[in-house]
């Protein structure tokens, strides 16, 4: 089986080699846990280190801001956009104003799943994308939780058909158990949980791979850091809580 390397230091060791190809993985965490950074790093390292093009479906942030954020970690995505190896699908600005002029891939109505899927497919095919990040899937069913499972299955089916490996960012509340609702948790192929917990007056970051179809993986909770070069996971350390 082919594996998709995350390129995030320490993470591929935890995954015993990487994410099995075509898996759809839920990247679940509360506010401030580093979900967006993890997702962006996965896409950028895919291009830089493994020559696997990728796209990011942006539902939470302006594409311009995403580029600025990524550059703060030294990830020059504009270069890869020009080379046709990276694309942002703008499902945030709803195609209004300056974004409509500058962005190539625009979803005008993010509540219209079919439009989102059409634009996503177009971007994947033009870029030849092997990796997809959706930040966040939660937005797609925030006010219609009954549709969560159906939405995730639909996206999964499309991405599997296109041969992509994907990270679905799932926003959960502080102190919430679970990973984003029962309909979603059981539908995905893998779950990586990012946590930020206060222990004795200090915030600690850690992650745990809860499930990953097609591979064994570390069953431990590992601490990680967010540095100015992105996330570093300590695959050799365990956080006991």
Q: How far is the CB of 192 from its own copies (least distance, A)?
A: 11
Positions in the binding site for its own copies (CB under 8 A): 1, 30-32, 60, 62, 65, 69, 72, 136, 138-139, 142-143, 146, 149, 157, 160, 171-175, 177-179, 181-183, 185-187, 191, 196, 198, 200-204, 208, 210-211, 213-214, 216, 219-221, 226, 228, 238-241
| 3-state class (DSSP) for residue 150 | helix
| Ligand-binding site membership of 29 (annotated) | yes
Looking at the Cβ atoms of 50 and 160, the one nearer to its own copies is 160
- CB-nearer residue toward its own copies: 46 or 165: 165
Buried (b) or exposed (e) across 121-134, using 16+ Cβ within 10 A? eebbeebebbbbbb
Nearest one of 23, 64, 6, 19 to 163, comparing CA atoms: 23
- C-beta of 82 vs 146, nearer to its own copies: 146
54 is in an annotated binding site: no
Tally of CA atoms within 13 A in the half-sphere of 134 that contains its CB: 26
Distance of CA 146 to the CA centre of its chain: 22
Q: Cα separation of 92 and 99, whole Å? A: 10
**Binding residue numbers for ATP:** 29-36
**Binding residue numbers:** 29-36
């Amino acid at each position: 089986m082919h594996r998709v390397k995350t390129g995030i230091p320490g993470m591929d060791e935890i995954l015993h080699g990487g994410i099995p190809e075509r898996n759809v993985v839920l990247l679940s965490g509360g506010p401030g846990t580093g979900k967006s950074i993890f997702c962006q790093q996965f896409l950028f390292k895919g291009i830089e280190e493994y020559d696997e093009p990728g796209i990011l479906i942006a539902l939470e942030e302006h594409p311009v801001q995403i580029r600025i954020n990524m550059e703060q970690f030294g990830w020059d995505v504009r270069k890869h956009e020009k080379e046709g190896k990276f694309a942002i699908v703008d499902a945030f600005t709803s195609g209004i104003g300056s974004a409509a002029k500058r962005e190539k891939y625009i979803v005008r109505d993010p509540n219209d799943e079919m439009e989102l899927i059409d634009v996503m497919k177009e971007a994947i095919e033009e870029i030849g994308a092997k990796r997809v990040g959706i930040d966040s899937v939660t937005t797609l069913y925030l006010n219609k939780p009954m549709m969560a499972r159906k939405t995730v299955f639909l996206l999964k089916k499309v991405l599997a058909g296109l041969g992509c490996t994907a990270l679905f960012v799932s926003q959960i509340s502080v102190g919430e158990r679970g990973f984003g609702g029962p309909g979603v948790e059981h539908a995905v192929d893998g779950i990586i949980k990012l946590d930020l917990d206060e222990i004795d007056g200090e915030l600690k970051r850690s992650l745990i791979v809860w499930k990953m179809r097609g591979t064994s993986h570390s069953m431990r909770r590992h601490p990680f850091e967010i540095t100015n070069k992105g996330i570093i996971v300590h695959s050799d350390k365990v956080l006991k809580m």
